[in-house]
Structures are given as C-alpha cells and as structure tokens.
C-alpha cells in the first residue's frame, strides 16, 4: 500500500467536538438548543440506519432532535404538510428529508418547500443558487465535509484537475461548485460521458460518487492522485469479498457476522496507486453527519440573528 488513508472518522470527531462546545455555550448563555427534524419516508434499511445515526449524533452533542417516520405510500401533499408544520415549529432549526424518496413523491416540490433558513441539507433552489454564486448559504453536507477533509489535511486544491464522477444534487453538483470556488479545474463525468476512464487518469483529484461497486480501478487513476470515495455499496457474497479485498480476513468475519460488508465506488486495491484515499467505511460517511450538525448549529444561530 502506498496511499495515505484520509481518516474521515478522526476529522468528523474534531468537527463534532467543536459543535458540541459551541452548542453548550449557546445553551448556557442564551438557553438556545439547536433542533433537527429528520424525516424518513418508507422503510429502506440503509436510510433507517443513516437517519438513526443522525438522530443519535444530535443527542450525543446536546442538540434537540425529532425523527418522523412516514409510510412508503405517503403522497407529496402529505409530506408537504409535515414540512410546512416543521417550518413553523420554533424548536426546529434544521429539516432533513432523507433521500431517496419513494417514486410517487415529487422531490423537487419537497426541497423547494423547506424554508431556506432551515435547509441544513442545502438542497433548496435558493441555497443551491447561493452556492453557485459563492454566496453564504447552506451547503450539502457530503461535499462540505470533503472540503473540510482537504482543509484539515492541508491538501491544496487550487490549480489541480479535479474529476467529479456523478452530478447529483446530494454530492456531484455541489462538489463541482465547491471545487471550482477553491480554484480547481473541474470536470464532471456522468453516465453519458465518453472515454470517462481516460479523463479520470488525468485527474489530480477524483471524487467518486456514482453508486457503483468498485467502479474506479487501479487502471483509472494517476499514481499519487487524491481519491475520495463517496460510495457506500453492500457486498453479501463471499466470492465478491475475496475478489475485491486483498486483505479479506476481517471482511469475511464481518460478512459472517452481519451478512454484508461495505465497499465504495473505488476498488480497495487502488491504495497501491493513489497518493491519498478515503476508506469505506470511515471516510466520507462520518463527515456527512458531522457537517449536518455544524449546519444545524449555524441555522439555529442565523435564525436568531446571531
Ligand atoms: N441520502 C444520502 N445522503 C444524503 C444527505 O446528505 N441528505 C439527505 N437528506 N439524504 C441523503
């Protein structure tokens, strides 16, 4: 292995400790307790785990939190009614509607309905517009967390060629904007991109956010590149574990115990070529939650003019 592993878990602990300290001061001096409402529609097991973890983190840092679970059959209008109620609720500073949403729900309508001042996911058109124009607003948590990772590891982005795989509202698009604002030269690749692997090979920085198991291979990256793996995919077959993990002992144990192990969008063996790599798990995932806490604290302060 040649790559230095970028420890997202460690950085997330630093960020959370900073949030916890500020939340404590806010409560002691002004009796303000930032509050987050997490909304989950349906029973996608991964979403349940993510939202559970977000709520638990709120509790551990001294934030108020509410979890709202709605049925898989929920309509756009029903979800809008809940969002409107949360917009009005004084104890709530941040509203998070977990993605993906069931097909019958118009996600654009939902994100546009969340008050921009409570939009801690940064998905509202006003906040996306502010990000595009480099104005202060709420920035989506995963890309914001990745920028924190660069900053805290002292990894310069300016002048570098960054290739973003994926153009989603959650990661790819805001990531490309943030990197552009940090003076990187940015290429966005997606499902229609031609000769994608020739493009990634030129990259100083690769952000893999396409949701495909081990999509980025050792052949696709320039030696020494910074590779950020946003993917969270499940492997549940022993043959797959043996195929993807050169160091498979612990992964097989995990498979035995939990029935699956996690793998990113980047082949684990890329650690022999990359200069820096985020592990899965323990890379980008924990940073997303830490930035959500930071955004909720920011929302609580802004809403009160602090
Ligand atoms: N699904 C995957 N990542 C996210 C996120 O950051 N926010 C929301 N709301 N849903 C997600």
- The confidence score (pLDDT) of residue 218 equals 98
102 falls within a domain: yes
Where b means 16+ CB within 10 Å and e means fewer, 126-147 reads bbbebbeeeeebbbbbbbbbbb
Provide the residue-wise pLDDT of the chain in tens; the chain has 306 residues: 689 999 999 999 999 999 999 999 999 999 999 999 999 999 998 999 999 999 999 999 999 999 999 999 999 999 999 999 999 999 999 999 999 999 999 999 999 999 999 999 999 999 999 999 999 999 999 999 999 999 999 999 999 999 999 999 999 999 999 999 999 999 999 999 999 999 999 999 999 999 999 999 999 999 999 999 999 999 999 999 999 999 999 999 999 999 999 999 999 999 999 999 999 999 999 999 999 999 999 999 999 999
289 falls within a domain: no
Pocket (CB within 6 angstroms of ligand 1): 96-99, 121, 141-142, 170, 288
99 CA closest ligand 1 atom index = 10
Crossing angle (nearest 10°) for helices 172-181 and 141-152: 40
Cβ count near 152 (within 10 Å): 14
Question: Catalytic site residue 54?
Answer: yes
| Domain final position from 81, 98, 115 | 115
290 falls within a domain: no
Burial class for 240, CB neighbours closer than 10 Å (0-12, 13-18, 19+): middle
User: Which of 170, 232, 284 is the pocket-test mutation for ligand 1 (most atoms within 8 Å of CB)?
Assistant: 170
Peptide bond into 129 cis (omega under 30): no
Q: State the residue range of the domain holding 256.
A: 141-284
- The confidence score (pLDDT) of residue 96 equals 98
Which secondary structure element, helix H or strand E, spans residue 143, and what is its range? helix 141-152
Phi-psi domain of 62 (left: phi exceeds 0; alpha: psi -120 through 50; beta: other): left
Does 164 lie in the same domain as 106?
no
Exactly one of 121, 204, 220, 271 is catalytic; name it.
121
- The confidence score (pLDDT) of residue 27 equals 98
Rounded to whole angstroms, the Cα distance separating 64 from 255 reads 35
Provide the domain count of the chain: 2
């Amino acid at each position: 292995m040649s790559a230095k592993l970028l420890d997202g878990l460690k950085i997330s602990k630093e960020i959370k400790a900073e949030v916890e300290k500020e939340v404590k001061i806010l409560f002691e001096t002004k009796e303000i307790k930032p509050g987050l409402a997490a909304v989950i529609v349906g029973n996608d097991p991964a979403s349940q785990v993510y939202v559970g973890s977000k709520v638990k983190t709120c509790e551990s840092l001294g934030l108020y939190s509410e979890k709202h679970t709605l049925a898989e059959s929920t309509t756009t209008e029903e979800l809008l009614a809940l969002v409107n109620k949360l917009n009005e609720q004084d104890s709530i500073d941040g509203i998070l509607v977990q993605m993906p949403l069931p097909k019958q729900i118009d996600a654009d309508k939902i994100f546009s309905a969340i008050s921009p001042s409570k939009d801690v996911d940064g998905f509202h058109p006003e906040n996306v517009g502010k990000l595009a124009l480099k104005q202060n607003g709420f920035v989506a948590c995963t890309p914001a967390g990745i920028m924190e990772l660069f900053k805290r590891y002292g990894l310069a982005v300016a002048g570098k060629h960054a290739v973003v795989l994926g153009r989603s509202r959650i990661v790819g698009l805001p990531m490309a904007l943030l990197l552009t604002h940090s003076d990187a030269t940015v290429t966005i690749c997606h499902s229609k991109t031609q000769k994608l692997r020739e493009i990634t090979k030129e990259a100083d920085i690769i952000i893999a956010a396409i949701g495909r198991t081990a999509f980025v291979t050792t052949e696709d990256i320039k030696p020494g590149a910074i590779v950020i793996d946003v993917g969270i995919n499940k492997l549940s077959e022993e043959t797959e574990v043996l195929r993807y993990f050169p160091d498979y002992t612990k992964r097989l144990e995990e498979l035995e115990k939990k029935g699956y192990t996690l793998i990113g969008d980047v082949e684990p063996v890329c650690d022999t070529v990359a200069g820096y790599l985020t592990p899965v798990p323990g890379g980008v995932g924990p940073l997303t939650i830490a930035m959500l806490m930071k955004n909720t604290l920011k929302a609580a302060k802004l809403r009160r003019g602090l």
